[in-house]
Each structure stands twice: as structure tokens, then as C-alpha cells.
Amino acid sequence: MNRMEFSRKTKAAIIARAAGKCEACSAVLKPGEGEVDHILPCALGGEPTVANGRLICRVCHVEKTANDIRSIRKADRSRDKASGAIAPKQKIRSPGFPVSEKAARRQAKPPLPPRQLFAPAAIINQHTEGK
């Protein structure tokens, strides 16, 4: 997704609203010292509007940008996991379901012996001769 920049008119409105102070830490800013920043980043659906913009100092901007990058990466990972682009790292560990009485009885019975797939030729001949 491309970054959407603020228009000159929008930037001017945000700067006028701030009245020369950082809107994050209330530090007094010199003219041209503040930076207009998106409150909700473009990558997470933020629009370049006056309501989504604020004037902040460089220190606050660096800190916020680091947090934004973490949020964006987390959203990317969640989207990739949900779409199946990334396989789960491990199986979900759980105690499982409790064994029902019916299943417990079934497990207690000895299994049946395996069936013969082929009968010896002598037995086949006895059955065919009797007809």
C-alpha cells in the first residue's frame, strides 16, 4: 500500500490547531521544527485528514514510528496466518477430550484376530467338490 501524504491545506490546518506545541508531549516547538504525523498509519487504514493528523516533535515521532512498524508487522503476520500463507509453527497442545463410557468399553475389549486373505487350495477344492 502506498503512503498517502497530507495536502498542503491539511498540513496548514493541523499546524494551526497545534498552536506551536507538540500534540504528544506538549513541548514548545520552533517554526518548522514539528512534523505532521498520521495518528493511524496509512498501512493500517489511516486517511490523510485533519482528524487523523497531528503535529509532533522529532523525538515523539521516532518513538511513534517504531511502535507503528511493530503494529503493521503484527497485522501482516495475522493476515498471512489467516489466509494460510504461513503454516502454524507447532501443534496446539491440549489435554484433549475426556474419554466417554462407550469409548472406554470399546478400548477394554480385545481386538478381533486378523482374517485370512487367502484360503489354502485344499479347502477350496473341498467346497467345490461338494456341489
Domain ranges of the chain: 8-83
- Give residue 53's region: left, alpha or beta (phi > 0; psi -120 to 50): beta
Are 57 and 27 contacting, i.e. CB atoms less than 8 angstroms apart? yes
- 95 Cβ contact partners less than 8 Å away, ≥ 6 residues apart: none
What's the pTM? 0.61
* Residue 72 pLDDT: 94
* Residue 70 pLDDT: 95
Residuewise pLDDT in 10s, the chain (131 residues): 577 899 999 999 999 999 999 999 999 999 889 999 999 999 999 999 999 999 999 999 999 999 999 999 999 999 998 888 888 777 777 777 777 888 887 777 777 888 877 777 776 667 666 55
* Residue 106 pLDDT: 77
* Residue 130 pLDDT: 57
| CATH topology (fold) of 8-83 | His-Me finger endonuclease fold (3.40.1800)
Give the C-alpha distances (Å, rounded to integers) separating 96 from 92, 93, 99: 10, 8, 9
* Residue 113 pLDDT: 83
* Residue 64 pLDDT: 95
Are 6 and 14 contacting, i.e. CB atoms less than 8 angstroms apart? yes
* Residue 73 pLDDT: 95
